[in-house]
């Protein structure tokens, strides 16, 4: 059904005719009487609406999640909770995820507030409209102020129902965002092939002392597109797994040793296949492992098809163009006695007292030292 200008005019004309009718006062008084009688029933139906517990829950949740209430940098409460859930020490590494989470939460917050504003505006407009209508009608029929209040409260109730739906969907959106965020942290993704290659190259070229310094870790992290913590994890896992199963890793070691050798003979220091610093190589720094000692130390020279990376290093040190032979203490070959005396990875060099491999000439982060 459409309302045309013509029909509106007709209605206005009828209303005017009614208002001017001689029977109008009599009709009005009758209506007042009826109204008086039905007044009780209206009052009885006008019950006090108790606060909806579900609405309260939604409000509390939105407040806790930082969607409702005062803004503190885009959902601070939830971000803090997420930070706490991330396990404390790793929070700096999750800054990317956190900022992502925060920005998404801010988006939800923005949408929620703009929708809320729209609803409130619409509610006010509609209330004003209805009030105007009732005032208009009060000229032709008795409209008590109570009735107007009742109408207003009905409208508000309707709109708060809509608002509750909005709050509900907002809560759902926040929950989904949160679960996704937590899942993302929980999930493990393999590093890229290139990243693993970089890490392996570093590991095998520093086999004698595979303990990258903080700077080296940062550099590796940057190169691999991972965090420093992940680099630390990787080296921790690698050292342990290498130690546990040297045989299995020998082939891998050979591959990287060859790579390193090739990169050296092709002219120079590849940044990742950097030589071991004098301290670790010169002191026979290859870590002493049960079994690994034989593997590396027992080999008299590079006469095999495959050779361990540590020996490639020593060879490089001895005959490389820049040469680290001087710092090797007289000979390119490892001294088994020295090796044993130096013990394992840990004992061979202590990170604080010995120049870290990464601080060596071909270090990942520095080419200038020594």
Footprint of DNA (CB under 7 A):
87, 90, 185-191, 196, 211, 214, 226, 229-230, 232-237, 239-241, 243, 248, 345-346, 351
Phi, psi of 153, rounded to the nearest 5 degrees:
-65, -35
CB of 235 to DNA, least distance (A): 7
- Cα 219–chain centre separation: 22
In the complex, the smallest distance separating the C-beta of residue 232 from DNA, rounded to whole angstroms, is 5
Nearer to DNA, 213 or 314 (CB): 213
Pick between residue 154 and residue 184 the one whose CB is nearest to DNA: 184
Residue 174 near residue 108, CB atoms below 8 Å: yes
Q: How far is the CB of 82 from DNA (least distance, A)?
A: 13
Please enumerate in sequence order all residues whose Cβ is within 8 A of that of 342, keeping only pairs 6 or more positions apart, or say none: 283, 284, 285, 288, 348, 349
Minimum Å gap between C-beta 236 and DNA is 5
Cα four-point dihedral sign 277, 280, 282, 284: negative
Judged by CB, which is closer to DNA: 170, or 274? Answer: 274
**Closest-CA residue to 358 (of 346, 367, 349, 347):** 367
Nearer to DNA by Cβ, of 8 and 240: the residue is 240
What CA–CA distance (Å, rounded) separates 79 from 71? 12
Give me the least distance between CB of 249 and DNA, in Å please: 9
Written as six digits, the tokens of 291 are: 């079994």
CB atoms within 10 A of CB 362: 27
As given in the structure block, the two tokens for residue 1 are 């059904």
CB of 342: closest distance to DNA in angstroms?
Answer: 13
**CB distance 208 to 310 below 8 Å:** yes
Q: Is the Cβ of residue 167 or residue 217 nearer to DNA in the bound state? A: 217
Q: What are phi and psi of 86, to 5 degrees?
A: -75, -10
Determine the Cα–Cα distance for residues 239 and 257; give it in Å rounded to an integer.
17
Minimum CB distance to DNA smaller for 214 or for 338: 214
Task: Give the whole-angstrom CA distance, residue 39 versus residue 210.
Answer: 89
Apex CA 87: angle with CA 83 and CA 88, to 5°? 70
CB 355 within 8 A of CB 279: yes
Contacts with 160 (C-beta within 8 Å, 6 or more apart), sequence order: 55
Query: Which is closer to DNA, CB of 211 or CB of 334?
Result: 211
Report the residue number, 132 or 346, with the smaller CB distance to DNA: 346
Q: How far is the CB of 230 from DNA (least distance, A)?
A: 4
CB of 172 to DNA, least distance (A): 23
């Amino acid at each position: 059904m459409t309302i045309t200008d013509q029909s509106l005019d007709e209605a206005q004309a009828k209303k005017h005719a009614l208002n001017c009718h001689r029977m109008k006062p009599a009709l009005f008084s009758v209506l007042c009487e009826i109204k008086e009688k039905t007044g009780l029933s209206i009052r009885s139906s006008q019950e006090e609406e108790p606060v909806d517990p579900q609405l309260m829950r939604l409000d509390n949740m939105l407040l806790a999640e930082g969607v409702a209430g005062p803004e503190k940098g885009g959902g601070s409460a939830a971000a803090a909770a997420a930070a706490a859930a991330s396990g404390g020490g790793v929070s700096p590494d999750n800054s990317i995820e956190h900022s992502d989470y925060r920005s998404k939460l801010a988006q939800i917050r923005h949408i929620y507030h703009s929708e809320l504003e729209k609803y409130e505006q619409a509610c006010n407009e509609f209330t004003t409209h209805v009030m105007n209508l009732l005032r208009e009608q009060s000229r032709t029929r008795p409209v008590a102020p109570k009735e107007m209040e009742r109408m207003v409260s009905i409208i508000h109730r309707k709109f708060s129902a809509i608002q509750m739906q909005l709050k509900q969907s907002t809560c759902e959106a926040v929950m989904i965002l949160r679960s996704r965020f937590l899942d993302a942290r929980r999930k493990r993704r393999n590093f890229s092939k290139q990243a693993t290659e970089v890490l392996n190259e570093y590991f095998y070229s520093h086999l004698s002392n595979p303990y990258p310094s903080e700077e080296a870790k940062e550099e590796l992290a940057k190169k691999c597109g991972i965090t420093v913590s992940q680099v630390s994890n990787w080296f921790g896992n690698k050292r342990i797994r290498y130690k546990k199963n040297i045989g299995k890793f020998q082939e891998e070691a050979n591959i990287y040793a060859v790579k390193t050798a090739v990169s050296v003979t092709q002219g120079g220091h590849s940044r990742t296949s950097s030589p071991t610093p004098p301290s670790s190589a010169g002191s026979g720094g290859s870590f002493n492992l049960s079994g690994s000692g034989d593997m590396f130390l027992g080999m008299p020279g590079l006469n095999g098809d495959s050779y361990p990376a540590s020996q490639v290093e020593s060879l490089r040190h001895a005959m490389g163009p820049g040469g680290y032979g001087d710092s090797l203490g007289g000979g390119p070959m490892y001294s088994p006695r020295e090796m044993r005396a130096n013990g394992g990875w840990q004992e061979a060099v202590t990170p604080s007292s010995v120049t870290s491999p990464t601080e060596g000439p071909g270090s990942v982060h520095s080419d200038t030292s020594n």
